[in-house]
Amino acid sequence: MRAFTIVLVSAAATLGIAACTEDAEPIADPVEQAANEPMEHAGPSVGEAIPANFLTRDMTGAERRLDDLVGENGLVLVFNRSADWCSYCQGQMVELRSIQGDLEQRGYTLATISYDAPAILADFAAREDIGYTMLSDEGAAMIEAFDLRDPQYAEGSFAYGVPRPTIMVIGTDGIVQAKMVETDYRIRPEPADIVAAVDAL
């Protein structure tokens, strides 16, 4: 994937969040919308805690909480739309394999989270040889709790409940240490950019 403009929200900098949209249901140009409209559903800011009731399921259907996901220093949690139908998310998930070891060396585990059912994630992980944890938030309860649901998809849409693509670096205490968001849903960060964000902490 080619490099692109991301915003890294840290204690020293606060930048805007862009919308993302599915090809089949365009609402507005994401970059233009980011420039002209205040964004809602941005999720917790750097320095804020993630929802205390964080609870998802992994690819096997087993319940997973923050305590059993974090490494020595924390967790890199990647919110994406779908491993089933979003080709941009699928490509990102595959590319993330290349930094799993780098993040682990830095004391961080890696996980993705989407509204996909565990079976969909398990199939994708087996097909693409994914070794990191893929979390299922079927029903989008955690996506809602994080205030990351993309509001442009109405109830009844196949994409209702998907999050804004977001990457959060979360400490063992549940505090957001850094946050990366895309200004164009079609372009995802290079894996090295994620490692660099961790190194910048």
pLDDT at 30: 34
Q: What is the spatial distance between Cα 94 and Cα 102, in angstroms, rounded to a whole number?
A: 15
- pLDDT tens by residue, 137-165: 999 999 999 999 988 889 999 999 999 89
* Under 8 Å between Cβ of 58 and 73: no
Residue 14 has pLDDT above 60, yes or no: no
DSSP for residue 68: G
The dihedral through the CA atoms of 21, 17, 29, 96 has a sign that is: negative
Q: What is the pTM for the complete model shown?
A: 0.81
* Under 8 Å between Cβ of 159 and 81: yes
Termini Cα distance of the chain: 25
Is the domain spanning 6-33+40-199 CATH 3.40.30.10? The answer is yes
- pLDDT tens by residue, 60-110: 999 999 999 999 999 999 999 999 999 999 999 999 999 999 999 999 999
- pLDDT tens by residue, 21-69: 334 433 333 333 333 344 566 789 999 999 999 999 999 999 999 999 9
